[in-house]
């Protein structure tokens, strides 16, 4: 971004780009091995317990024998883009400007397969990044009790990868799904 051969001075280029001059003159240093180890441990804890914030992670690291302050844990979590996942207040208050769509299945009797389909999407954290899983399913005939049905699922990881899944037990909204191959 900064051109040292330009007729504009470095000071003026920094002003135009909105950069501090210290970022131009000082080369960034790579993080130390200790910092990388701490970041790795924080990331493991966050993946295992996403509801834990900086206070809980700091307490857990102290239990593991790592003396670290909450301020440092918070700074490292900010650097990695991590934050605790929890229910935010007032999330179910509808916006009055949004259209409310009618429930079309209220009085409908589902008599056979392939009559009603449903879909869901979920976020899956992975070792390097994340993936989205989209599942399209044939809705069960009698509430949540159904036999083995085929489910079409797509996983988004650098393009579409189609996966066939079979529902092994569907007695509750959280179904157990096994990958067929």
- In terms of DSSP bridges, do strands 129-138 and 160-169 run parallel, antiparallel, or are they unpaired? unpaired
| Contact between residue 125 and residue 133 where contact means Cβ atoms under 8 Å apart | no
Structure tokens at 81: 């883009």
* Cα torsion 153, 177, 122, 91: sign: positive
Among 67, 87, 107, the domain boundary falls at 87
pLDDT confidence of 39, banded at 50, 70, 90? very high
Find the distance separating the first CA and the last CA of the chain, reported in whole Å. Answer: 48
In this structure, is residue 42 part of a structural domain?
Answer: yes
Say if 12 falls within a structural domain: no
The answer on 175 and 122 residing in a single domain is yes
Which residue is listed with tokens 């000082």? 26
Going across the sheet that includes 176-179, the strands are 117-126, 129-138, 150-156, 160-169, 176-179
How do residues 131-155 score in pLDDT, each as one tens digit? 788 877 777 655 544 444 444 444 4
Residue 18 lies in a domain: no
Tell me: the pLDDT tens digits for 56-103?
999 999 999 999 999 999 999 999 999 998 877 777 788 889 988 888
Instruction: Please report whether residue 124 resides in a domain.
Output: yes
Question: Structurally, how many domains does the chain consist of?
Answer: 2
In a domain, 94, yes or no: no
96 or 114: which leads in pLDDT: 96
**Residue that the structure tokens 């280029």 belong to:** 13
Q: Is residue 175 domain-resident?
A: yes
Q: What is the largest CA-CA distance in the chain?
A: 77
Tell me: pLDDT of 107 over 70.
Answer: yes
Whole-number percent of the chain with pLDDT over 90: 30
pLDDT band at residue 177 using 50, 70 and 90 as cut-offs: very low
Residue that wins the pLDDT comparison between 39 and 124: 39
156 pLDDT higher than 70:
no
Mean pLDDT of 18-46: 89
User: What is the token pair recorded at 146?
Assistant: 């159904």
Token pair of 162, please? 């189609």
Global pTM? 0.44
What domain range is 55 assigned to? Answer: 29-87
């Amino acid at each position: 971004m900064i051109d040292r051969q330009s007729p504009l001075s470095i000071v003026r280029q920094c002003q135009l780009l909105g950069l501090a001059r210290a970022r131009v003159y000082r080369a960034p240093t790579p993080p130390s091995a200790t910092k990388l180890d701490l970041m790795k441990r924080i990331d493991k804890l966050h993946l295992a317990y996403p509801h834990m914030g900086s206070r809980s992670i700091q307490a857990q690291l102290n239990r593991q024998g790592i003396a670290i302050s909450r301020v440092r844990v918070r700074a490292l979590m900010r650097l990695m883009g991590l934050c605790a996942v929890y229910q935010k207040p007032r999330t179910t208050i509808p916006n009055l400007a949004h259209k409310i769509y009618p429930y079309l299945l209220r009085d409908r009797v589902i008599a056979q397969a392939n009559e009603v389909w449903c879909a869901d999407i979920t976020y899956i954290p992975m070792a390097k990044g994340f993936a989205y899983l989209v599942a399209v399913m044939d809705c069960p005939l009698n509430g949540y009790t159904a036999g083995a049905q085929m489910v079409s699922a797509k996983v988004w990881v650098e393009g579409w990868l189609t996966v066939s899944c079979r529902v092994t037990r569907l007695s509750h909204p959280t179904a157990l799904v096994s990958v067929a191959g």
